[in-house]
């Protein structure tokens, strides 16, 4: 069984991490152009860092939920598996999804990278970050070239990392995907719809788990209109039971 799982903010909603466009989502009250673009960072890096530091803290205090755990279980049992997540949080990893079978296509909020050169560092611990802030008088600077450091995420108007695209493309090119799950994403980005529909191909199953309709819904072979934390444990247990009985 070859499996592809694509996740978005809805998968972490049940852990208390706001989505972007769902109910009470960030983009319902905040303007992405002021917080998540290279222009916003150039204009007001303090404001951008403040928002990302707040988000980092919220994620550190959150726990993976049953949807993250069910996906990790599927990863362990599927013959071949890839998780493509748009989430910059670390909840899939903390639920034990194998890192080598996961691509964070929009980056990692706990990475701080230089806005000019290729220097980057991981900042999972709050203490380390606070220490850096004190030393850098609030705005972190690159120890190598002196430019401002920025969060290691993809902003609007930026390219995806081509090495990460290659991982997804290679997985699709290696053979048919039997089962594709698209979970908790509004699927607004063309590449998400493209990967999901190509993975489905002629014969594969494409299961959308989302309380709301999305542009992907019409391509799905099964629609599950429930929150991921409720639906996924049940669906994945059913699949694993079926696979065990048929092998």
Residues marked active site are found at: 106
DSSP H or E stretch at residue 153: strand 149-153
Q: Which of 4, 5, 13, 59 binds ligand OAD (CB under 6 A)?
A: 13
- CB contact at 8 A, 109 and 89: yes
Count, residues in the chain: 247
Identity of the residue, 79 or 163, whose beta carbon is nearer to ligand OAD in the bound complex? 163
| CA quadruple 234, 65, 122, 49: dihedral sign | positive
Contact status: 124 vs ligand OAD (CB under 6 A):
no
Phi, psi dihedrals of residue 223, rounded to the nearest 5°: -115, 125
Minimum CB separation of residue 85 from ligand OAD in Å reads: 8
- CB contact at 8 A, 159 and 191: no
Binding string to ligand OAD for residues 127 to 156, with x set by CB under 6 A, is what? ---------------------------x-x
Cα 231 from chain centre: 19
- CB contact at 8 A, 183 and 6: yes
Cβ neighbors of 234 (< 8 A, separation 6 or more) are: none
Contact status: 14 vs ligand OAD (CB under 6 A):
yes
Q: Tell which positions 197-226 bind ligand OAD, by CB under 6 A.
A: 210-212, 214
Identity of the residue, 225 or 241, whose beta carbon is nearer to ligand OAD in the bound complex? 225
Contact status: 12 vs ligand OAD (CB under 6 A):
no
Minimum CB separation of residue 245 from ligand OAD in Å reads: 30
Q: Which of 75, 185, 193, 196 binds ligand OAD (CB under 6 A)?
A: 185
Contact status: 55 vs ligand OAD (CB under 6 A):
no
CA atoms of 12 and 88, how far apart (whole Å): 10
Count the residues of the shown chain that bind ligand OAD, applying the rule CB under 6 A: 25
182: left (phi over 0), alpha (psi -120 to 50) or beta: beta
Minimum CB separation of residue 247 from ligand OAD in Å reads: 32
Identity of the residue, 19 or 93, whose beta carbon is nearer to ligand OAD in the bound complex? 19
Q: Which of 86, 93, 104, 112 binds ligand OAD (CB under 6 A)?
A: 86
CA atoms of 162 and 125, how far apart (whole Å): 28
Q: Looking up tokens 């590449």, which residue turns up?
A: 191
List residues near ligand OAD by CB under 6 A. Answer: 8-10, 13-14, 19-23, 25, 36, 86, 106, 154, 156, 184-186, 210-212, 214, 227-228
């Amino acid at each position: 069984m070859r499996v592809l799982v694509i996740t978005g903010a809805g998968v972490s909603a049940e852990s208390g991490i706001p989505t972007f466009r769902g109910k009470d989502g960030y983009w319902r009250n905040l303007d992405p152009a002021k917080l998540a673009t290279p222009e916003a960072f150039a204009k007001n890096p303090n404001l951008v860092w403040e928002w990302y530091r707040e988000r980092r803290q919220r994620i550190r205090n959150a726990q993976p939920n049953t949807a993250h755990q069910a996906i990790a279980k599927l990863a362990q049992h599927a013959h071949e598996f890839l998780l493509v997540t748009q989430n910059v949080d670390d909840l899939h990893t903390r639920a034990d999804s194998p890192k080598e079978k996961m691509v964070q296509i929009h980056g990692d909020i706990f990475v701080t990278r230089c806005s000019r050169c290729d220097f980057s560092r991981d900042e999972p611990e709050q203490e380390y970050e606070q220490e850096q802030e004190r030393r850098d008088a609030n705005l972190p600077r690159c120890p190598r070239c002196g430019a401002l450091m920025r969060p290691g995420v993809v902003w609007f108007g930026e390219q995806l990392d081509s090495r990460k695209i290659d991982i997804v493309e290679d997985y699709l090119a290696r053979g048919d995907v039997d089962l594709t799950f698209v979970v908790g994403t509004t699927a607004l980005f063309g590449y998400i719809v493209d990967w999901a529909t190509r993975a489905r191909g002629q014969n594969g199953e494409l299961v959308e788990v989302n309380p709301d309709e999305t542009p992907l819904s019409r391509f799905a072979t099964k629609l599950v209109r429930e929150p991921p934390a409720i639906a996924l444990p049940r669906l994945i247990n059913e699949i694993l039971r079926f696979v065990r009985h048929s092998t």
